[in-house]
Amino acid sequence: MLKPKVFIFSPADPTGETYRQMAADGCEVVLGDASWHTPMGNNEDDMCEMAKGADALSGTSIRSSPITARIMASAPELRIIAKTTIGVDDVDLTAATERGVLVTHCPAEANWCGVAEGTLAIILTLLKKARERDEAVKRGEWRDPALQGRYIGRRQDGYAGLTVGIIGLGRIGRRLAELLTPWRVRILACDPYVDLSRFVLSNAERVNLDTLLRESDIVSLHVILTEETRMMIGSRELGLMKPDAILVNTARGQVIDESAMIKALQNGKLAAAGLDVFQDEPLPADSLLRKLGHKVLLSPHMVTSNLNSGLKPGIEWATRSVFSALRGEVPDNVYNKEVIPKWLERFGGRKVL
């Protein structure tokens, strides 16, 4: 009996222990060139060759080539594509579902909760001018009026506080609302795919996108990347925002028209932007975002990266999912659930490990 083949298209375990354990448990393991730190790896042709005969694909985000229908076709017995992260936007879900391939993701609390914590840190850094104050003191300056921050919450003296608009009230959006609760801010939220009860539990007013953009002082994006959300914030939407508003994006770079956002920042139509994600990653050396000074707070797509958490729980979960699929069992984190009946017909109970 041939060993089941697992192609790790974007290895994320820096120790390599996960892959050595897979090999010790009877798998043939092939590692791609991409990684969490360098998402640009093999091209589609390379990946087609490396995926030949694979029973499972796994990895973190990859930018050099998505997991295309052509790559899947290189592996006729492919059972699973197991992402170690939450996002599956770099997988052709339609093709996977048509081929009867499970796509799993890893919404580990260490991941999505880390995004919410990081988002709040970005908001506070921009509102309180933490970077500017630090730099001023190091230059020998003291209490420059230009370094005043903005008070966030409602006060008893009648100050109404700021309004935070959350686009996408999933795990991350709800956790951000929870973290904001003690601050006594007004929370607006827009998400057509969740029940009203979630808004109530999150202490958020349910509004449409245009209302949220018009009334929010801080707008934070927490959506997955789909055809519906791609470029959802463009020139029109930016034009609805307050000129002193802050835009925060820790979702995916492609949900914002980056050129339109840069123009709004340059023209004073938007006060600041906090960005962990970009249209092109890593951020190109000639990106105008690098030249906007304190109008932007930039992070290298690692808002989830924290000691003793980060990708480790996701790697472990994805590995369990691969072994489940190789044993002919459905894992507990399938993203394209509609494929499960078809998958069970092909692979249910059929062990290759």
| Identified catalytic residue from 79, 175, 186, 301 | 301
Among residues 314, 345, 316, 313, which one has the least CA distance to residue 328? 345
Distance between CA atoms of 67 and 47, rounded to whole angstroms? 9
Cβ atoms of residues 225 and 254 within 8 Å: yes
Could you check whether the bond before residue 282 is cis, i.e. omega within 30 degrees of 0? yes
Which run of H or E residues covers position 192? none
| Identified catalytic residue from 44, 117, 281, 329 | 281
Distance between CA atoms of 350 and 340, rounded to whole angstroms? 14
| Identified catalytic residue from 175, 198, 222, 252 | 252
Distance between CA atoms of 149 and 129, rounded to whole angstroms? 6
Cβ atoms of residues 132 and 294 within 8 Å: yes
Distance between CA atoms of 262 and 146, rounded to whole angstroms? 23
Residues in CB range of 172: below 8 A, 6 or more apart: 112, 113, 115, 116, 119, 222, 250
Cβ atoms of residues 186 and 180 within 8 Å: no
Among residues 200, 228, 192, 213, which one has the least CA distance to residue 89? 228
Distance between CA atoms of 39 and 129, rounded to whole angstroms? 31
Structure tokens at 280: 């092109």
301 catalytic? Reply is yes
Distance between CA atoms of 269 and 239, rounded to whole angstroms? 7
Cβ atoms of residues 115 and 105 within 8 Å: no
Which positions are catalytic? 252, 281, 301
